[in-house]
Structure 1
Amino acid sequence: MIFDIRPGDPASPVILHVPHASRELTAEARASIMLGDEELAEELDNLTDAHTAEIAARVPGVWEFRNRWSRLVVDPERFPDEREEMLAAGMGAVYTHGYAGRRLRSSDPDRDRRLIEEHFRPYARGMTDLVGERLAAAGRAIVVDVHSYPREALPYELHGDGPRPPICLGTDDFHTPTAIVAAAQAVFPGMLLNTPFAGCYVPLEYYRRNNMVQAVMIEIRRDCDPAVVGEQLTAFVKAIS
């Protein structure tokens, strides 16, 4: 299985999406990574979204969609058909380079296509299906994308020179209503919008097509207390549900 779903209240529209919490690698992914154990551990330390699984687990009543594997297998939030900045940096759907530009894998388009077919597409379909189920059950779906980031910018961050608040709220002008932003501002002290990361995750089937699919990204600075953030996230979810 590529992902795990924790069922929530049948009437809840909220899905906590936790894509980067795992450190686990498939045997094929580990074999393709050209690093020793210590170097690999360093990559995982920097690229795994620390505390996000723990924080999400503290929030009752919501649906949770969690990636079972590390983003070093496949990153489910890097759309493979897009020509984007992160692809140019070797961090597209299948990473060839790590957090500081270190080479992780050789270039192998056939391997990348296989990983995308075996991991990315089933993951995207699972998330799309869950969003559709919440739409049918609750009349709307709210994807809360849960990430974390370090106090100091990592080398791979292409826009990491701005403020790094305790909570960064990533928004989209089509999928993030002002009421969701206001609810976040009420429960997350010191929160800033779209710095150091911007945007939020919406399955492509719904992106810019259905505004009843709402979304926001919660980026948590890693020195924040997970218990406190869990309480804040619970209050936020209650306010938007």
Structure 2
Amino acid sequence: MRSDYWDKPAFETIRPRRLVAPVVFNSGHSGRVYPERFLAMTRLDHLSIRQSEDAWVEELFARAPHLGAPLLQAHFPRAYLDVNREPWELDPTMFNEPLSDRFNTTSPRVAAGLGTLARVVAENKPIYRERLCIADAQMRIEGIYHPYHTALQKLLSEAMAAFGVAILIDCHSMPRLTRSGDRPSPDIVLGDRYGTTCAPGLIDLVETVFSSSGLRVARNRPYAGGFATRSYGRPSHGVHALQIEVSRHLYMNETTLTKNDNFNAIRQLVERLIFTLIGLDLVALCGPAPALNAAAE
């Protein structure tokens, strides 16, 4: 099956002229290039199908390459393919053929309709008119998902080779959270898988940047970090991963997906975060990767 992106890039790596810090920014959910074939397969209108997007996140973090750190960004939408899932996390009810044991069909994400190929978008709206064929999943996963993660791994390896440490900032947005009891809902949620995917000093620093601007910051609840954070975050090997969720109401209208009057202020705050990260001695903050001989012991 020919790729839906045969005539256009499915994703893009934007590199700085000079790499000045071991930080890699990743925006895997902000794509909004919808293939015509995919749109013909969905029962949703052009606005409803976009409700799963982390809309405009790549623009919030767009200054990273100008300041010396690479940005990997998806052009394909999350409703089409979710690179923040396992590669074969699929819902068997979506396909017209049985799935073999090689597929993960029983995860909580699959049960929620949000596997590698999502069954629903926000508010549990079904995406597809009809069942898919396995070849469609293979085209998306083998042709886009795996190359995307190869590109991300390459950026982290380059950072490690140049600096002895690598930092992945996984960039996301979230729907506005409802208030929980007497506690106001957070504006920012930082996820480090409950302290397992990055050095404490890194998440402390990021929280300080946001909280010092008056935003409410939470950790790990309700978003502790997805597949990318869990898979790449290996502090004992010198690779640290932190997921950042920015509440969409801060910078956009969640219904129309248009930017609001506060967009530039949030973008400038994110730029301050990027500038802070690349200006620090992150090896000292996070600790260097262990020597190979020490790791072998």
TM range (shorter): 0.7 to 0.9
Q: Which residue of 2 aligns with 1:196?
A: 222
AA aligned opposite 2:239: V
Tell me the TM-score normalized by structure 1.
Answer: 0.84
Aligned-residue sequence identity (percent) comes to 25
The amino acid of 1:167's aligned partner reads I
Deviation at 1:232, TM superposition (A): 3.7
> With structure 2 as the length reference, what TM-score do the two structures score?
0.69
Q: Which moved further from structure 2: 87-96 or 108-117?
A: 108-117
What residue is the counterpart of 1:32 in the other structure? 41
Matches within 5 A, 1:1-241: 1-8=9-16, 9-35=18-44, 39-44=45-50, 46-59=51-64, 60-79=67-86, 80-81=88-89, 82=104, 83-105=106-128, 106-110=130-134, 111-152=136-177, 164-172=185-193, 173-189=195-211, 190-200=216-226, 201-202=228-229, 204=231, 206=232, 208=234, 211-224=237-250, 225=262, 226-237=266-277, 238-239=279-280, 241=282
Letter in 2 for 1:132: S
Amino acid in the other structure paired with 1:95: A
Q: Which has the larger radius of gyration?
A: 2
Unpaired runs of 5+ residues, structure 2, are 1-8, 90-103, 251-261, 283-297
User: Structure 1 CA distance, aligned partners of 2:267 and 2:245?
Assistant: 15
Q: What SS is found at the alignment partner of 1:100?
A: helix
Partner amino acid, structure 1, of 2:196: F
SS of the residue aligned with 1:16? strand
| Deviation (angstroms), 1:143 | 0.5
- Equivalent residues, number: 228
AA aligned opposite 1:104: I
Deviations 1:89-129 (A, max 9, x none): 22101112221222212332512233211221111111112
Name the structure, 1 or 2, with higher relative contact order (CA <8 Å, separation 6+).
1
1:49 is displaced (CA, Å) by 1.1
**Which whole-Å CA distance do the structure 2 matches of 1:112 and 1:24 have between them?**
18
What per-residue deviation string (whole Å, max 9, x for no partner) do you get for residues 123-159 of structure 1? 1111112211211122111000111112246xxxxxx
The separation in 2 between residues aligned to 1:95 and 1:208, in whole angstroms, is 28
Q: Aligned Cα RMSD in Å? A: 2.4
- Checking the alignment, whether the CA contact within 8 Å between 1:96 and 1:107 is kept in structure 2 is no
Residues 17, 143 of structure 1: 8 Å contact kept: yes
SS in 1 for 2:121: coil
- Give the unaligned 5+ runs of structure 1: 154-161
Residues 14-34 of structure 1, C-alpha deviation per residue, up to 9 Å, x if partnerless? 011011112111233223223
Contact 2:190 2:245 in 1 (8 A): yes
Q: Is the partner of 1:188 in helix, strand or coil?
A: helix
Deviation at 1:48, TM superposition (A): 1.3
* SS of residue matched to 2:152: helix
